[in-house]
Amino acid sequence: MSAKILLLQDAVHLPSFGGGNKANRLLMRELAALGFECTVLARLPSSERSRAGPFSLAALAARGVTIRKGGDGCLSYRHEGVEATAMDLTLPDALARVGEIVERAQPDWILVSDDHQAVFLESALRCRPDRVVVLVHTHFHLPFGPEAGKVNVDQHQRMRRARSVVVVSEYSRTYVREHGGMDATIIRFPVFGRGPFECVGRPDAGFVTMINPCLFKGLPIFLDLADHFPDVAFAAVPTWGADDPVIDALSLRHNIALLAPDDDIGAVLRDARVLVAPSLVPETFGYVAIDAMLRGVPVMASGLGGQREALLSAGQIIPVGPPVASSAGLVAPPQDLSTWRTALRALLTDAGSYRQRAEAGREAAYRFLAETDVRHFVGYLAALKD
């Protein structure tokens, strides 16, 4: 099967540090490798999201990507067999521009992801209403339900008109059914690679690592652990959620190293001893837990939402209280930090327990790999066509 596939996403295509846009990027890469003609229209990178500027055009060029600038303010490049165009989705005429791009592409399938500004789905439905598939990676960007950032009745109705909805976990499928009134199909995206994966977890060396430190992801819990274990090496990998106050809080701790993000998660986890994922908001899945377990790194996670599924019954789930709204915005409530401290202390001091968890996680993650083969997605599209 060969076809033209257009992905529309309100997220940066490259670099892809978030779970959703990383999943999309790798899906398109794998489809292109199978002979599909893959094109992406994504949000224009910005250097304003972090001090290091990983989303800047300079950072993109540093990856060896040749950027082509268009007269309409867009930029284009080809990467891993995929043709990508990035545009400023906040422009007043963004909707019209998207429509023109979709019409010119004439794709066989249109994948729409994270359309929280409602600039993609309408154009996609106008062009190929029977070939539009909505990809759900985060509930915050959905137009309905208690986890949505903003309810949008019109956008909800557009989603109902799509040919199909794809989700990444049973938790997400239940959410879409109960709050959106729509059926959805679970597909595991090819985000992990084929392996083999180096087993890097060591009970006596390396970092207690957290990726994307911020309030939503449980920064207060991570900081408490670093404070409570001052002689243990910790590492934080700032990505989209790490603003200047977060960087400042991390920098104040002498035992927290700041590591640069990398599209290759294996490079980030190479020196990890334990991965902590204390998210205070429900995750749709939580890919990084499996990434760590594939490499023999034990995982401690909050287990909210689909993250419990991602732990594959092999990671350690620790209950948390989600943030609550206040006049100052979202505030993390007091947590039972003793449970986190006790769990981490056991991994740091009991080599036998460490190895047992590491081996169980690695075995479970390797079994899960078969579900992430891109051919599952190809078969799904073929079934829709029939």
- Rounded to the nearest angstrom, the gap between the alpha carbon of residue 34 and the centroid of all alpha carbons in its chain is 23
pLDDT at position 49? 37
pLDDT for residue 381: 94
Q: Which of 250, 272, 268, 247 is nearest to 259 (CA)?
A: 268
User: To 10 degrees, what angle do helices 351-368 and 337-349 make?
Assistant: 100
Task: Please report which helix (H) or strand (E) contains residue 259, including its range.
Answer: none
pLDDT value at position 358? 97
Task: Please tell me the predicted confidence (pLDDT) of residue 274.
Answer: 98
At the top level of CATH, the class of 4-191 is alpha beta
Please calculate the CA angle 19-45-113 and round it to the nearest 5 degrees. 45
Residues lower than pLDDT 70 in the chain: 1, 46-60, 70-73, 325-330, 386
Report which of 190, 201, 191, 208 is spatially closest to residue 300, judged by C-alpha positions.
208
107: its two tokens? 């794709």
For the domain with range 207-370, which CATH number is right: 3.10.20.340, 3.40.710.10, 3.40.50.300, 3.40.50.2000? 3.40.50.2000
What share of residues in the chain are helix, strand, coil (percent, to 5)? 40, 20, 45
- Region of 88 please: left (phi>0), alpha (psi -120 to 50) or beta: beta
* pLDDT score of 12: 86
Please return the burial class of 228, using the count of CB atoms within 10 Å of its CB with bins 0-12, 13-18 and 19+.
Answer: middle
Torsion sign across C-alpha atoms 107, 111, 114, 120: positive
Query: Which residues make Cβ contacts (< 8 Å) with residue 267, sequence separation at least 6?
Result: none
Three-class SS of 365-385? HHHHHHHHCCHHHHHHHHHHH
207-370 has the same fold as 4-191: yes
Interatomic CA distance for residues 140 and 198, integer angstroms: 34
User: Full-prediction pTM beyond 0.95?
Assistant: no
Segments making up each domain of the chain, as ranges: 4-191, 207-370
pLDDT per residue as tens digits for the range 246-288: 999 999 999 999 999 888 899 999 999 999 999 998 999 999 9
Q: Which residue spans within the chain are E strands per DSSP?
A: 4-9, 37-43, 68-69, 75-79, 82-87, 109-113, 132-135, 164-167, 185-186, 207-211, 234-237, 256-258, 272-277, 299-301, 316-317, 324-326, 329-331
